[in-house]
Amino acid sequence: MLHRLTALMSRAVPGVYVESAVLTSLWGERFFIYVEPNHSEYWFWFKRRYPQWKRVALRYKAVATTTACPEFRSYKILVNWLLDVLNLSCGERNLLLLDMGLSLCRI
């Protein structure tokens, strides 16, 4: 899963180097994606490339949008937000969701 998420995040913002991307939780209440080596820089460029990120985050009832990466109440909501922002095909979504043990999208 780590490899697929890292590759996805790298592909999403081609000009920014991504060493790793990890689903992370603060106190089991706030879930976000931590990107190495420069978390803040990555999310700055992500938000510029995908201006709809905030509108979609609000639709998913994000816990925080002022942080580098928006934070959500569950991994599943976080992943669905990301997949919607990136506008991935159902097949691409299913590969990532399978890796994470989450339910698949409908075909």
Model confidence at 7: pLDDT above 70: yes
- Assess contact for 91 and 83: CB atoms under 8 A: no
pLDDT at 107: 42
- Assess contact for 84 and 57: CB atoms under 8 A: no
User: Half-sphere exposure (CA, 13 Å, Cβ side) for 65?
Assistant: 14
Confidence of residue 103 (pLDDT cuts 50, 70, 90): low
Q: Where are the domains of the chain?
A: 2-100
Which of 4-8, 56-60, 65-69 is the least confident region? 4-8
- CA separation for the pair 12, 49 (Å, rounded): 9
pLDDT at 19: 96
pLDDT at 12: 96
